[in-house]
Amino acid sequence: MNTNVSKKIYDFFSLHEKVAIVTGSGNGIGKATAKMMAELGAKVMVCDIEEDSVKKTVEEITASGGVAIGMYCDITDVSTIKKTVDKCVDEFGTVDILVNNAGTPGRSGEIGVVDREELERVLNVNVTGVFNFINAVVPIMRAKKYGKIVTVSSGAGVIGTGTFQYAASKAAVIGMSKGLARQLGREGINVNVVAPGVTRTRMADDWEFEEVLERFYLVAEPEDMAAAITFLSSDCSRYFSGQVISPNGGDYMF
C-alpha cells in the first residue's frame, strides 16, 4: 500500500496521544478495546475488579509497545472510581475517552422467582456504576470542551433477550446515554452506545454457539465490538452522538 495513503488512513482513525479509561478491561470486550486503543496510539487506563486480569492486560499492551497503567476499580464504589480517575490524570494529564464496559449478567429466573435484591444488584452495577464513572469524568471533559463517552449496552437492551433484569439495565443505559448526548453535545462531548450481539466472551462461555448460528450468520469475537467502540472514540465519529450501534451479525435490525 502507498505509505502516504496508509498514513492518512491511520491518522483518520488514530487515537494518538488521547487518554482513555476502559472499565472492565481485564478480559473480553474491554480487554480487546484497551489493546486496540493502545495500538492506535492512546494512553490507556485499564481498570477492573479482577486485579490479576488488569495486570495481564497492561503487560500485554506494554509488551507490544503501547502505553497503559492499571487500577483495581469497583464501579459501584465512588471512592475507587475517584482514585482511578485521579491516577489517570496524574499519569497522563487528562481523560479524553471513557468506555463504560464493566457489567454483570443477571442470574437466571422468571419474575416471581427473581427477588428485588437481585434486580437491585444488577441495576447497581449496570446502571448506577455507569452513572458513577460518567459523573467522575464529565467535569474534566467539560473544562476542555472535548470528550468521548461510549457505554457498552447489549442486544438485550434493544430486543429484550436474556434475563429481564439484565435487559432492563441495558435498556436503561441506552436511555441515559441519549439523554446525556442531548445535554452534553454543546460542550463538545459525544455520548454513544454499542449494543453487542452474541460475542465469544467469558460471560458467554456456557452458550451453545451452534444453536446461535442456526438463527443467524455470525458469532462475534471481542475485537469486532472493540472496533465499533474505538470508532466511536475517535474523531472520525465527530457527528455521532446519542446513537446506538449494534454489531450483531444480522440477528436483528432496527
Q: Which three cell numbers stand for residue 7?
A: 498514513
Residue 130 parent element (H or E): helix 129-144
The CB density around residue 11, as the number of other CB atoms within 10 Å, is 12
Sequence-separated (6 or more) residues with CB below 8 Å from residue 63? none
Catalytically annotated residue among 166, 217, 239, 252: 166
Are 51 and 28 a contacting pair, CB within 8 Å? Answer: no
According to DSSP H, which parts of 2-77 are helical?
Answer: 3-13, 28-39, 51-63
Are 81 and 133 a contacting pair, CB within 8 Å? Answer: yes
146 counts as catalytic: no
Distance CA 19, CA 101 (A): 16
Distance CA 144, CA 142 (A): 5
Sequence-separated (6 or more) residues with CB below 8 Å from residue 199? 28, 29, 219, 220, 221, 222, 224, 225
Distance CA 103, CA 58 (A): 20
Q: Which three cell numbers stand for residue 138?
A: 464529565
- Which residues carry out catalysis? 166
